Amino acid sequence: MKIRLDHIHRLNLHALLGAQRGDLATMRALWALQDKLALTSEEEKTIELKREVVSGQVRAIWNPMLVLPPIDFEFSDVEGAHIRAALKAWNSYGANVDRQWLQPLLQAVCPGGLR
């Protein structure tokens, strides 16, 4: 699966993958995906990315006026399955808040929709 992701997709998908649970093999696969999606230190500086801890959870914040160009990513079938599973399993989406980044990501990852 080849998809183009901007920094907002990457940051949110990284967070969703980090919220998943599974056995050790699953965790290692998810960590590898997170490493693949992670912004470089230069990209973090460009968008003024900061991390803060809220209620014991790390939250990423950045300057929404600053942007990075989208990047093409190639994911194996197994990686794509992990991404689809994370998108499907998350039960805390906000209809208005997440639509901007989630809808284009779903169209790219799951063109037929999630079932």
Q: Check residue 38 and give left, alpha or beta (phi > 0: left; psi -120 to 50: alpha).
A: beta
pLDDT tens-digit map of 103-112: 888 888 877 7
- Are the beta carbons of 25 and 33 closer than 8 angstroms? no
Instruction: Identify the band that residue 40 occupies on the pLDDT scale cut at 50, 70 and 90.
Output: very high
55 φψ region: left (φ > 0), alpha (ψ -120 to 50), beta (else): left
CA 60/CA 47 separation, integer angstroms: 11
* pLDDT tens for each residue of 42-100: 999 999 999 998 888 788 899 999 999 999 999 999 999 999 888 888 777 777 778 88
For residue 75 the two structure tokens come to 């994911």
| pTM for the structure as a whole | 0.84
Q: What is the rounded distance in angstroms from the CA atom of residue 104 to the CA atom of residue 10?
A: 12
